[in-house]
Structures are given as structure tokens and as C-alpha cells.
Amino acid sequence: MEKVIKIEGKHKLRGTVRISGSKNATVALIPAAILANGPVTICGVPNISDVESLSVLLQDLGVVVDIKSSDRIVIDTTDMQNKPMIHEAVSKLRASYYFMGALLGKYGHAEIKMPGGCYLGPRPIDLHLKGFEALGATVTYDHGAYILDAKELVGTKIFLDISSVGATINIMMAAVHAKGRTTIENAAKEPEIIDVATLLNKMGANIRGVGTNVITIDGVDELSGCFHEIIPDRIEAATYIVLAAAAAEDVMIENIIPQHLESLLSKLHEIGIQMEVGVDRVHVKGHDGNIKATDIKTLPYPGFATDIQQPLTALLTQTTGQSIVTETIYTERFKHCYELNKMGANINVMIPSSFINGPTPLYGAEVCATDLRCGACLVIAGLIADGVTTIHDIYHIDRGYEDLDGKLTALGAKIWRETIED
């Protein structure tokens, strides 16, 4: 038995949609919370399956996870024990690697099996491990698990060969209790890193420079509980903005931080999308059918986000001319193109670029969400396609989008789930 999402296309969307808390921040904030010696309350937590997986992992460590409301949880580490993390949930969730830095920072020891997540091509964690080793940890790999050990973590200067979000956050968490000062050079600048550092500083850490390419962490002895509200999800916001640009008559997207979306908003203006940007919202009026092709090159923040290129590709099938998307972060992130071609798109993939020729009418088809953002792309394609689109492997979508069906239904989309025989 398998659950699928079905979408009947060509229904114009109208109304208002509110963006949830950041998925990419949440999956780092929850592991970061275990560094505290008191309860940590986090608000704005999205109701997604990744959060469920993280809660399972916390409970496996003896951490009490109290869900106070649909978007508010309290994490209490009073009875926490540092145990090997070999639960199957680790394999489902790439962000489980954040427990490496958190446990190493708190206990000087961590044991965790290889993390999972969407396959987007090679996604090595060698930068994380090099950072831990620079702080004084030894790293061994045995029977599918990483074992990290350190009698004492000592602050040092660490240069990241690539400005990796995961490595920046993981090293930051490991360094909060290190002796002396740690400096991370060529650090990533993503808003989610700032959010994690804000939480850690509220807990008593001493972190400066987040949002720049040099972060300094002065080690402290104690971290305590605190209250924290997560930033809005810039990738969910981008998805709904692109979705509205493709299929809306008049849609307001609320609870966003426009500065986090400047690279996308400027591209949409360039191709001819009509919209008004406010302090915390974007009003999208769609397009008049005359939108032009453009070129995209993904780059680390504040450049064009790799997570946004897949949803945007669905819209680019409707532009006049040839659009070129060049992927510099995850060079195999083009599986969505083959699925779009099943729906009538004309896309040629020559890694690291895709060439989208348009405009092409799209038709409902049986397609597969090969990863989270591919799923978002296919939802957008389904909304503008003739007929009914059936999307398989929707667990990827549920990992990162809260109440997708409900939000789209409220805007006037015809979307539903069915259980089918395997």
C-alpha cells in the first residue's frame, strides 16, 4: 500500500497563505537544545516528519520532549544519557549529524551511524570531521558508525574548504564548551546559522560574527535553558512565491523575511512576474502569459539557493526561450527534470546544467518525488498541468512542508491523497 498525492491542474489560486517556521533551522535547533542543562522552549516548530524523527532520537537519549501545542515544544535534558545513536530514524534524516557536534561538545564523546536523507549526489561530511579533529577529537569509523572522542576540546582556527552550512553549525556546537577561542573562517552565512547561534547565545554561549565569513566562539562552562522562536522558512516561502507566480490569480504570502529571498525575487521581477513586496509579505498577482526565460546559477547564501532551483524549474517551463540552470552546490540535483519531461516539458540535462526550452504545455502524469524539493517542483507542475497528476514517494514532501494539502486547498487548489495498491 502506498499513499500518493493527486492534483487536478488549471485551477487558479486566490487567498492568503502563512509560512511556517524554518525546516532547515529547526533540524539544527533541536539537536543544539541538548547542550543546555535546563529546559529549552522552541516556538514556531513546523509540523513535519523530520521533527517527528528528531523527537524519536531525543527520546532515545532520555530527553523529555513535551509538545505544548502544534508549533511549540519543550526539550528537557535533565535525565539525558549519552548513548550510541543507532536508531533507524538516523538513517532517514541527514540532519541527525548535528548530534555529532552537540554530543561531542557536551560529553566529549559521540557515536552515531551514517546519517541519511535525500540523495542529491555526493554529500560528504569530511569538513565536519576535520573540524572536530582540529578541536582535538579523534574520529574513527566502525561498522557503519562514526565514533568521536576527545579528552578535552581546545579552541583553534578552522578554515572550511567549502562554506558548508552543516559543517559551520556542527563545529559551532562542538566549540561552545571548548577551552579558549575557536575561529571558523570561510564560514557559511545562511540565516539558519544565525538562528542557531542566536539560540546558543541565549543559552549562554559566546558566539560572534554569524552572518559573516568569520565566526568566533569563546568557550563557556555552562549553558542553561531559554525561550526561542524560529525564523520563517525561506525555502517554503520561495516555494509558495514560485507556486503563486505559476498558478495564482491573486495570492498573499505572509510571515516571510524578504531580505532572505532577494535573489529569487529579483529573478521573478526579471522574467515578468507581477508582485508587491512588503515588510513581512509578498503579494503575487501571477503573470499575463508573457514571461521570458532566464539563467540561474546556484551559489551559497546570499546567492541563489540550490533548494529553490527545483521548484523554479517548473515555472521556467512556461517562459519563452531557453532558460539555463547551473547547479554548483549539488551537481546531481536534476532528477526533477526527468519527471517534468514525463509531463511534457522539454528539458535537456548536461550536468552541471539543465536547459529548459519553453513555453511547453504540461499534462497530468504519474511522477515520482525523488527528493524533498523535487516533490515541491512536481506539485507546482501539477497545479499548472492539464488533467490529473499523481505524485509517488510523497514522504519526501512531508519531510519539509507543513500541511501542504491544507494550505493549497485553502487557496483553491484541487489536491488530495489516495492510498493505492503496490
Is 24 annotated as belonging to a binding site?
Answer: yes
Is 348 annotated as belonging to a binding site?
Answer: no
Is 94 annotated as belonging to a binding site?
Answer: yes
Query: Is beta strand 227-229 parallel, antiparallel or unpaired with respect to 40-43?
Result: parallel
Is 307 annotated as belonging to a binding site?
Answer: yes
Which ranges in 176-283 belong to alpha helices (H)?
Answer: 191-203, 234-247, 262-271
Give pairs for 281-284: CB < 8 Å, separation 24+.
281/252, 281/253, 281/254, 281/255, 281/256, 282/237, 282/241, 282/252, 282/253, 282/256, 282/258, 283/250, 283/251, 283/252, 283/253, 284/241, 284/244, 284/245, 284/248, 284/250, 284/251, 284/252, 284/253
Is 124 annotated as belonging to a binding site?
Answer: yes
Residue 118 known to be catalytic: yes
Is 258 annotated as belonging to a binding site?
Answer: no
Is 234 annotated as belonging to a binding site?
Answer: no
Give which of 111, 61, 109 is closest to 84, Cα–Cα: 111
Q: From the CB of residue 43, how many other CB atoms can be counted at a distance below 10 Å?
A: 14
Is 123 annotated as belonging to a binding site?
Answer: yes
* Angle, helix 165-175 to helix 98-107, in steps of 10 degrees: 10
CB contact set of 350 (below 8 Å; sequence gap of 6+): none
**Which amino acid, residue 59?**
Q
Q: Please give the Cα distance from 261 to 28 (Å, whole number).
A: 21
> How many helical (H) and strand (E) elements, i.e. helices and strands, does the chain have?
14, 23
User: 258: cis peptide before it, omega within 30°?
Assistant: no
Q: Which of 118, 226, 374, 377 is catalytic?
A: 118
Here the cell at position 366 is 504519474
User: 302: cis peptide before it, omega within 30°?
Assistant: yes
Q: Please give the Cα distance from 124 to 114 (Å, whole number).
A: 11
For residue 356, the cross-strand partners are 323, 347
Is 23 annotated as belonging to a binding site?
Answer: yes
Helix (H) or strand (E) holding 73: strand 72-76
Which segments are annotated as binding site for UDP-N-acetyl-alpha-D-glucosamine?
94, 123-127, 307, 329
Residues marked active site are found at: 118
Which segments are annotated as binding site?
23-24, 94, 123-127, 307, 329
Which segments are annotated as binding site for phosphoenolpyruvate?
23-24
